[in-house]
Structures are given as structure tokens and as C-alpha cells.
Chains A and B, each alone.
Chain A
Amino acid sequence: MRLSARTGRRLVAGIPILWLLVLFLIPFVIVFRISIADVRLAIPPYTPLVSWHHGAGHLELHWDAYQFLFTDPLYVSSYLYSLKVAAVSTLCCLALGYPMAYAIARAGPGTRPLLLMLIVLPFWTSFLLRVYAWIGLLNNNGVINNVLLYLGVIRQPLALMQTDFAVYIGIVYSYLPFMILPLYANLEKHDLALLEAAADLGARPWRAFLAVTLPQSLPGIFAGALLVFIPAVGEYVIPTLLGRPDQLMIGRVLSDEFFENRDWPVASAVAIVMLALLVVPILLLQRLERRQLGAQ
């Protein structure tokens, strides 16, 4: 069978588009549709979109789930807490990742691939097990407390587990490569002649950094920050294993609504509101990436 070039191109682009439409985009429509249904004891556990009375169809729209979300303080505080945790973790990631990316970008050409590999390598090992490892480090009888007790720095074990601190550690640890890689890609391209020019003009190193390097690296900073911030808002595993039991993040709330309370409409509404919060960051990231690919 010989396909014309046009048909071939249509197939090449069409197959993945079709796949993603069905398995990525349309599901969001279904989530929205269920978020405006009402719970009922049946399979599936929500009311149909159209109900039939006396031969006439009635559209069943229930906004109760959303109303519930915005009036129950549990949900509002979970959203705010998730945004705070994601923001703080992103800043910590940046504070640690920027100098690391900088050091790699300025290392010799021979050592750069090795350093990059060392950054990416943990990413290839199980995310779940790497988070699990922190339980062993942060526990009351964990490695950190044992070492500090042994050295006599502390007399009582520090309560490190099930704190905000543990969640920050977990997120920074898991998402650090996502911060470093775009930063490195940006920093590596910088023209060092500009820094020399700044030095020749008498700028002190830190001033030259602030005036030349930092502004140039802003796209890298934004890309890295968004790559960390967006998934961190909905993080489920890290807060469940390391976080506070009294303050849940919104990803955990969604999961609990679905699996424990079996309230599909509320779980869907939680997802839709989270998506609404993340739409702008996601679009920003896509714009950044398009521009970067265009520049290549």
C-alpha cells in the first residue's frame, strides 16, 4: 500500500493526537461532568447528567460539591497549605539548585557530563524508595537523631518526622534535578565575555553576577521553578509518608475523598479547582518551552 505524503503526515500527527485526546483531554471533561453530579448509592456512585421524568429529560446540575469546597474550612486550608508548601519548596530548590547548576556549567568540559549524570542518576531509581529513605533518616530513632545524640549536640531526639520541614526536604530532594537541568541548559549558553567586560569596567564579582548572569538566567529560573511548583502542589506520596497528620495537602484530600469517602463528585470538584489554580502556571511553562525550542 502506498500512501500519499499528505496522508502519511496526517497519520503521523493524527495517531498521537487522537490518543492524547481520548486519554488525556477528554478525561478532564468527564471529571468536570462528575463534579457537577450528586452522590448516590449506586454503580457508578453519582447521578446521571440527564434524568427522565414523565418522558421528558431534565438536566441535573448540582453545584453542591463546589459550594461544599468553599464553605468547609478543611478544603480551603488544604489548598492554601499546598500552595505554601509548593512555594517554599520551590524557593529552597532554587537556592540549592542554582549554585549547583552554576558550578556544573563552569566546570571543565570533561567533568560536565559526569556531574550531570550524577544529578540525573537518582532520578532513575525509584522515587518512592528515595522518599522512604528519608523516613529512616528523619525518624526519632533515625540516622540524623542518632548521630546528633552520639555527638552530644542534642539530649532529646528532635521531632523531624511528620513536620513541614520533612515535607520540604522530601520535595526538594525529589524535584531537585527538575530545577538544575533547565538552569544548567541556560547557564551553559552564557557568553562569558560579558562577565569579563563587566570586570574590566570595574564591577565587583557579585555585582557582575547580579547585573549580568542573573538577568540572563531568568528563563531558566522560571522553567525550573514551574517544573517544581506545579507537580509539588498536588504531591501525594511525600506528605503522606513524611508530612503532618493534622494538616493534609490537597492531593491527599482528593485521594481520601475518592478512596475512603467514595465521594466521586467532591473528589472531582477538588481536582477541577486544583486544575484551575494550575492552569496559568502550566500555560506559562508551555510558552517558555516553546520559546526555548524556537531558539534552538
Chain B
Amino acid sequence: MHSNGFFLKDVAGFLGGYYSCIAIMNGIAALILWRKKGQVGWALVWTALAIAMMVLASLALSASPGMVPALPASVRSLVNRLSGPMIYTLGTFALLAVLFVFRSFFVKPMVAWGILNAMLVLMGLSMADENFAAIVMKPDNVPIVGLVFLLAFFTWLATKQAVVNDDRIARGLPTVEKENDEKVLVWPDLVYTELICMVAVMAFLLVWAIFLPAPLEEPASSVKTPNPSKAPWYFLGLQEMLVYFDPWYAGVVLPSLVVFGLMAMPYLDFNKKGNGYYSIEERKFSYLTYQFGFFVLWITLIILGTFLRGPNWNFFGPFEYWTPYKVEVLNNVDLPQMFWVNLLDQPLPKAPAGASGLVQAGYVLLREAPGLLVMGAYLLLLPPLLAVTVFRGFFAKLGLVRYMVMANLMLLMLTLPIKMILRWTLNLKYIISIPEISLNF
């Protein structure tokens, strides 16, 4: 639970190497900037950082509890206390919004380099915490750490190109892609590059498999489920979705909608701009929709499922010990219960004993009337309403059929965050709940 000598001895070697790597990285960056001239100020900044990292590395290698650089305990407990699924999701949402709005600031190379350094140092400091290290250094979870950094890098790269292009378009210049549209031959240029990449990745995977082997566990048993029981990392977003929905919806309908939605994209996209070059300004709607679906509804959920969901699928702060005895007081309520019992203060409509199937069905429909009405309004009334207000231009350009497909895909995608927020705020379990026929929404 708390940092002890044994743990620190284990992690000290790693941290020493880790901080040294950051130092070397910054040293090289400083050298390159120094050679370029004109960037001397930044070169000095990174040199100073490299020296600071060397100091941290030697402190970490001391492996004594007072010396290893770590976050203060008060900060860690504050982070633990603040973190929760609600804050996490809304926080990532806000973070992405900030990154989007101020993208022309964040794509500056020096700013990005500073953020990368901050991320690395923060991770190194957190790593001195036993609970954090136990989760992050688990062989299963290492790829997710890589994913965080790789995704950040590639998103930054694409955004940078888009920002540059947007700027050029605004000034009436041709895009970068148009200006240097030098083409290379598939054979041999591309094929050789691919071959080299293939060999390099293979070698990398072999080394990885040797140093971080997959854990061997006890034989599988249908009556013994590991706690926590986690899907493969790429399905952890789906597993998180399953917390809020019935399996038929979160496990079948929503994933299929993702696939069909991606397939429908070429038919729904009437914007001919941005074809063959990076641009955000010219395709804001497509860009934001995609990034929302990909980052907020997929990647951040994977990260949440990997690092923050512990035993019994409870939410744990990043520095919290994963105890299977954590008590979270939840009492989820269905919408019919809320409506009939809590609001109207009367029992749920229930068919009298011995009623025929038809009468029972009628009572079930009456019981579920609020949920059915809400869902009906959401899926049937909202699209036309949006067509005459927010999406007026879209409706004109897409036509009825394509507009309805697009609007329904959007609305169904939004069911996930809406339901998540309703669960956290109102403890709402299901909007429509007909367990008699396993239909819950």
C-alpha cells in the first residue's frame, strides 16, 4: 500500500534508466536546436531540463524512501479523492475541447515537446507510487501506456499538418500536399519500406515477448471468474459500455452501428473538401464527430477500463490500492420505478394474477410507457426537429433518406454518453426495462 524499501529497490533501477532516457532525449533535442541557430533559447531550456533529469535519475538510483522523486502524498490522495467516472469522462471531454480550440498553440513543436516532457516526468513521479506502478507495469497494461503516447504523437502530427494547411488555405496558398506532390513508386520504394518495417516490428515483438511475457494463469473454469475480469485491452471500451447497457445493445447493436456507420460515411459525406490533404477547418463537423467517437467513446474508455477499473469493476483512483472489498453504495433504479413509484407515488402497474398473455403485455406496456415515450421522442421526434433547426443545411444537402440515416447514427452514438451521465447522476439503470423478454434499454 505505502512505499516500502522492497518496492523502491525494484523500481529504482527502472526509474534511473527512465530519467536518464528523458535526459538523453532532451540533450539531443538541445543539440539539434543549437545547430539550427536562432533557437538558442530553447536549446538552453532543454539542456537545463536534461541536467535536472540527470539529477532525478541519480536520486532515483539511490533507492532510499526519502530520496526517490515522487509526488507528495497529499497530492496523491487529492487525486484519488477527486477521481471518479464522472470527473474522468467529463474531464477528458473538456481536455479534448481545449486541445481542439487552442490547436494552433498546441501544435507548435516546442509546446508539444514541453507537454511530452511533462507527461513523461509526471509518469516517472507517479511510478514511485506502489499502487500506480503495480497497474502501469503489469505486462498486460504496458501496451496501453504505449497507446497513450503513440496516439498523442500521431494525433499531434496530423493536427499539425491540418493546422498548417488551414493557415495556407486562409492565405490563399495551395496546401502542403499539393505543393510537394512528389510521388514514389510502389515497387521498390513502398514495398521495401514495408518489408523493413515488417522485420523491425517482428524483432520488436520478439524482444517484448521475451522481456514482458504473458502471464500464465490457472486453468479456466466456468464457475471461477477472475476479479477483476477484463476483456482484451482493445475491447475494454466495449466492456465499459456494457456497464451501462444490456448486452444486446452494448455488445451487439452499438458495435455493429460503429461498423455500419463507418461504412455509411462515404455516402453521407457531401463535403468534397479535405480530399487528399489534412484540414480541420474545412471539415469541422466530420472531424469533431470522428474525434468524439474515437477519443471520448473508445480510447478514453479503454484507458478507463485498463487503469481505473479494479476488482468488482469498481472505480479506483490512479494511486489507490485495488482492494476487492471497496464498498460503493449504488442503488440503480429503472425509469418506470422512478416515474410510477418515486414521482406518482403509486405501485408499478402489474397485471392481476392469472391474467391472459395479452392483458399482461398491456400492463407491461403501461408500465414502460414513460420509457417508450422518451425513446420514441428521442429517435422519432428529434431528427425532424434537428432538421429544421441545427442541421438545416445538412438536411438540404443530404435529402430525407441520407439525413435520417445520419441523424439516427448520431443520436444512437450519443445514447452512450447520455446514458453514462444519467447513470452517474440519477442512478438510472434502464430507460425501458422489460426483463420478461430480456429487452432493456
Question: Do chains A and B interact in one complex?
Answer: no
> A-contacting residues of B (Cβ < 8 Å)?
none
